[in-house]
Structure 1
Amino acid sequence: MQESADVVVIGFGAAGACAAIEAASGGADVLVLDRFAGGGATAASGGVVYAGGGTSVQREAGVTDTRAAMAAYLRLEVGDAVTPATLRAFVDGSAESVEWLKEQGVPFEGSLCPTKTSYPTNDHYLYYSGSERSRSADPAPRGHRAKGSGTSGKILYARLAESAVRAGARVLPQTRVTALTSADGRVTGVECRTLAEASPWARLKYRLLGKYAAKPGLYLPALRRALTKRAERIERRHGKTVTITARRGVVIAAGGFVANREMLREHAPAYRGCLPLGTSGDDGSGIRLGQSVGGAVGAMDRVSAWRFITPPSALLEGILVNERGERICDESRYGAAIGHELITRHGGKGWLLIDEQGVRAARAQARSQSLWFQYLQVRYLLKVSRVSGKSLAEAARKAGVDAQGLARTLAAYNAAETDALGKPADLVRPLTTGPFSLIDVSIRPSTGYPCPMLTLGGLRVDEITGEVLREDGGVIAGLYAAGRSAVGLCSESYVSGLSLADCVFSGRRAGQSLAVPMGDSLAHG
């Protein structure tokens, strides 16, 4: 059985859909392959796109933002993950990218969240999604959440998938790519196993396994692994081998490797105990496909692990300490920054010190500032993970934190006119009202307070075209990568929405490169 197309896209999440839209809109015959039914980690995400510089959504909310302010902040987060020219291109095209997403049918709304939070409620769709308020001279909310109830990644993905089909892309689900084909140093297509001709019963069973492996398997890794093994048996028993020729090129947009325990142990062993935020498709297979033909990888040790202490926002008035009672970081920083500090410098251990006034305020805010899953975590923090004492020393003894160190830290915090670690002034309040509480926010396996993580490394790419690079810096002709299969904007430091924004940016880049006339494409390669 043989198939062909101008462009073959591996993976149908945000990056794959954006690549398909641009390539198909540019006249290419596009075939998208997905191991399951599409969506991947995008559909399971919060649907937040990091954008700024004066987007229409920001203007609707009455927010003033500039490209210079956005670029200055992102330089701190992005580091050298991409070149300054690529960062400028991303920032300069950010407002246009939001309009492009709107054209594909993705809904946004300029309802500004009034509090700092890990994820806004269904009343708000624009918020401070990173550490802008503590790290930027001109902060602005840039987290653009697709409008939809609950976690709205499913809305964002659905609109992009529909747009790809409207543009003319063909989609072949339940198809697992097993190898790349090449000739004369150029990638020419793929080999895969597909259930396209399997019995309706086998296809239905496989679809259900994929669905439940994604959710609730997202929150129960052991269940996800068990369901994935059963899906693999169906692939072996009922799948048919197909060779697909790609006349212009192949785009790898198959996600990261957070579901691959072997690769995590090899590249990021410190993150054991975190909750893999991804689907069975995030098994590193796309990255390994690129490596099989000489593709270089980068940032494979970079993992974003999120330890959020909001909602409720009252908890930001507390101070985060280690077991010696020493302050860890500015508590208003984005959850990935807090997680990074805990894991890399404090053995994953941390406690949030609050006083009785803070406890009362947090309880009062819990329902109004939380979605259902956040509310469950708030209850866990305030009821299960919290110890209290009439004195600071008593609370420290119960938590296992050094009492003298904690007393010194609190005294310095209460006496300071401005926060030494940069926490915004409106979040700084002396903690004086006993009893005192210490909330254990340590990172370890826990059903009550998981620490989600995703991988940020992948194949290195040419930042103008999206072509995969070899170790010597040359490109692999005919092979492109996007999203979390590639090194991108968020591969150094993640803030909420930057991964999806990069999926859109890098996916469109690859699709546009493949939409050019055949002669120009070959000349560039």
Structure 2
Amino acid sequence: MAPANSTGSAHSIRPVAVDDVDTWHLEADVVVAGYGIAGVSAAIEAARVGADVLVLERTSGWGGAAALAGGFIYLGGGTPLQKALGFEDTPENMKTFMMAALGPGADEEKITDYCNGSVEHYNWLVDNGVPFKESFYGQPGWETPFDDGLMYSGGENAAPFNAIAAQAPRGHVPQMSDKRTGEKGGGFMLMKPLVETAEKLGVRAEHDMRVQRLVVDGDRVVGIIAKRYGKEVAVRARTGVVLAMGSFAYNESMVESYAPRLIGRPGAAIEEHDGTAIRMAQALGADLAHMDASEVAFFGDPQLMVRGILVNGRGQRYVNEDTYPGRIGQETLLRNNNEAYLIIDEAAYDEGAGADSSTPFFRFRPKWVAETAAELESEMGLPEGTLQSTVEVYNRHAERGEDPVFGKKPEWVKPIGSPIAALDLRGFTAGFTLGGLRTSIQSEVLHVSGEPIPGLFAAGRCTAGVCAGGYASGTSLGDGSFYGRRAGISAAKG
């Protein structure tokens, strides 16, 4: 018996030889494991090229993490929405940003491919019923609080990236009113029309199926062993299997091994992200990439953060506060011991608190308030002179509307006055994993030898996609749908 994993199950992940399968309970040309964004995209494209497609979903309905997400899809290179709203972009410019922001170690071949195909992918989404409103939201925020279709979602308009590549917003958001992120976000309006498209194409779905093992005929994957209500179900795949089962954010042992900074703070939308797809493929010798990489959510409201300064446990600034909040989260957790304080004066706090926001629940009251930086520093228990010098240097340059230390945009650079306050944001982070199976641009799962594993394909957060070290909102849904499509086509061809 295999040792129990963190989810409490004790099943083996070792492959099953085809000769040991007595009965195939279900079969199709292409069997897709997971009905989130990667899975539905794979199912659509496999069906469109004539394959009989069966999706196995662990939960009782479609959607996965995608349906609960804010809905950003990272697209650019001159999409019709970008052009309609007056923004110029090219695949080359998009690639320059992505290589700078998503590294170190970003996969240049995959990013080049993704950027070159981005406009076509936008059109594919629209053709499949995904709605985008011709409206740009230009305020700081995790997401737009309205139904706008386009937004900066990766720090493209903030230092250092605004000096590396021409600025262009690439966070495309499906139009949806009355959004409730985490319940029914913009991601729901991405998934709904795609699932409806899949159903019209004849894609079948079986729910409450816990995929556990791969079936092999020699070195070729020919099926899946799943469990439903405690009973084993053997599913034959005549041409290919697509793994689209999400990250390993909720597998405690894998997080401890690969991404220990996330221990105790998983931030994936659904707990089914337990790494099973990765482990099943590993048992066949699959290669992995970027397993230590993670996106980090920071529980601070951007409308407040841009109006103050973020300091660490030494009273020092460590990031430009107007950048992508996920980058702030990474800098806080991964490089500053998860210690953060927002220093802000009363006028700036009141202004930020009155602005529109998609995350008003991240607007916390100050823990300390004082008349001077010296008094605030003392109340916070910071080393004498540290916060004072940070505020003094910031204010000196802010008098001229400049931030030469981190390059915050002039519109947000104002001297910090009195009364001065500090919000205690220590430990206010959670994250999800970005690493996973190494795949080709055709979404083939690669063996450690570098060769494709016959019959096995993958997409989405169980793979190492376009992100390596950095992240931009929309790269999960963008990469998952883009390479999900490739996986479906490849699996149909066998």
The two structures share one fold, judged by TM-score above 0.5? yes
Aligned match for 1:496, one of 473, 483, 486: 473
Matches within 5 A, 1:67-78: 67-78=91-102
Aligned equivalent of 1:303: 294
| Contact 1:396–1:438, Cα closer than 8 Å, also in 2 | no
Aligned equivalent of 1:142: 170
What CA distance in whole angstroms lies between the structure 2 residues aligned with 1:346 and 1:73? Answer: 25
Letter in 2 for 1:163: T
> In the TM superposition, what is the alpha-carbon distance from 1:308 to its structure 2 partner?
5.0
> In the TM superposition, what is the alpha-carbon distance from 1:333 to its structure 2 partner?
1.8
What CA distance in whole angstroms lies between the structure 2 residues aligned with 1:342 and 1:363? Answer: 22
| Contact 1:47–1:153, Cα closer than 8 Å, also in 2 | yes
Q: What's the secondary structure of 1:250's corresponding residue? A: strand
Letter in 2 for 1:515: A
What CA distance in whole angstroms lies between the structure 2 residues aligned with 1:343 and 1:452? Answer: 9
Aligned match for 2:36, one of 13, 23, 33: 13
Aligned match for 2:431, one of 453, 459, 479: 453
What CA distance in whole angstroms lies between the structure 2 residues aligned with 1:80 and 1:387? Answer: 38
| Contact 2:33–2:244, Cα closer than 8 Å, also in 1 | yes
Aligned equivalent of 2:200: 166
Matches within 5 A, 1:211-226: none
Q: What's the secondary structure of 1:136's corresponding residue? A: helix
| Contact 1:9–1:30, Cα closer than 8 Å, also in 2 | yes
| Contact 1:259–1:278, Cα closer than 8 Å, also in 2 | no
> In the TM superposition, what is the alpha-carbon distance from 1:322 to its structure 2 partner?
1.2
| Contact 2:312–2:340, Cα closer than 8 Å, also in 1 | yes
Aligned equivalent of 1:438: 422
Instruction: Please say if 1:388 is aligned against 2:369.
Output: yes
Cα offsets for 1:371-406 (capped at 9, x unmatched): 4xx22221xx1x2x5321011122222223334111
What CA distance in whole angstroms lies between the structure 2 residues aligned with 1:87 and 1:301? Answer: 19
| Contact 1:301–1:457, Cα closer than 8 Å, also in 2 | yes
Letter in 1 for 2:360: Y
Instruction: Please say if 1:245 is aligned against 2:236.
Output: yes
Letter in 2 for 1:192: A
Aligned match for 2:149, one of 117, 125, 138: 125
Aligned equivalent of 1:219: none
Query: Under a length normalisation based on structure 1, what TM-score does the superposition of the two structures give?
Result: 0.83
Aligned equivalent of 2:62: 38
What CA distance in whole angstroms lies between the structure 2 residues aligned with 1:83 and 1:302? Answer: 13
| Contact 1:10–1:254, Cα closer than 8 Å, also in 2 | yes
Cα offsets for 1:214-260 (capped at 9, x unmatched): xxxxxxxxxxxxxxxxxxxxx32xxx322111111101000011122
Q: CA RMSD in A?
A: 1.7
| Contact 1:392–1:403, Cα closer than 8 Å, also in 2 | no
Aligned equivalent of 1:315: 305
> In the TM superposition, what is the alpha-carbon distance from 1:275 to its structure 2 partner?
4.2
Q: What's the secondary structure of 2:270's corresponding residue? A: coil
| Contact 1:325–1:403, Cα closer than 8 Å, also in 2 | no
Instruction: Please say if 1:193 is aligned against 2:230.
Output: no
What CA distance in whole angstroms lies between the structure 2 residues aligned with 1:273 and 1:333? Answer: 26
Letter in 1 for 2:408: K
Q: Relative to structure 1, is the Cα distance of residues 284 and 424 closer, same or farther in structure 2, using a 3 angstrom cutoff?
A: same
Higher helix proportion: 1
Aligned equivalent of 2:261: 270
Cα offsets for 1:416-459 (capped at 9, x unmatched): 2532212122221121x201011112225xxxxxx331110111
Aligned match for 2:483, one of 493, 506, 510: 506
| Contact 1:7–1:248, Cα closer than 8 Å, also in 2 | yes
Q: Relative to structure 1, is the Cα distance of residues 308 and 490 closer, same or farther in structure 2, using a 3 angstrom cutoff?
A: farther
> In the TM superposition, what is the alpha-carbon distance from 1:359 to its structure 2 partner?
1.5
Instruction: Please say if 1:397 is aligned against 2:425.
Output: no
Query: Under a length normalisation based on structure 2, what TM-score does the superposition of the two structures give?
Result: 0.89
Instruction: Please say if 1:479 is aligned against 2:456.
Output: yes
Give the gaps of 5 or more residues in structure 1.
195-234, 445-450
Letter in 1 for 2:53: V
Aligned equivalent of 1:342: 332
Q: Relative to structure 1, is the Cα distance of residues 402 and 361 closer, same or farther in structure 2, using a 3 angstrom cutoff?
A: farther
What CA distance in whole angstroms lies between the structure 2 residues aligned with 1:267 and 1:70? Answer: 30
Q: Relative to structure 1, is the Cα distance of residues 177 and 254 closer, same or farther in structure 2, using a 3 angstrom cutoff?
A: same
Deviates more, 1:476-485 or 1:73-82: 73-82
Q: What's the secondary structure of 1:188's corresponding residue? A: strand
Letter in 1 for 2:390: T
What CA distance in whole angstroms lies between the structure 2 residues aligned with 1:375 and 1:82? Answer: 34
Aligned match for 1:422, one of 374, 395, 407: 407
What CA distance in whole angstroms lies between the structure 2 residues aligned with 1:308 and 1:193? Answer: 37
Aligned match for 2:319, one of 329, 344, 350: 329
What CA distance in whole angstroms lies between the structure 2 residues aligned with 1:71 and 1:308? Answer: 29
| Contact 2:74–2:478, Cα closer than 8 Å, also in 1 | yes
What CA distance in whole angstroms lies between the structure 2 residues aligned with 1:462 and 1:328? Answer: 36
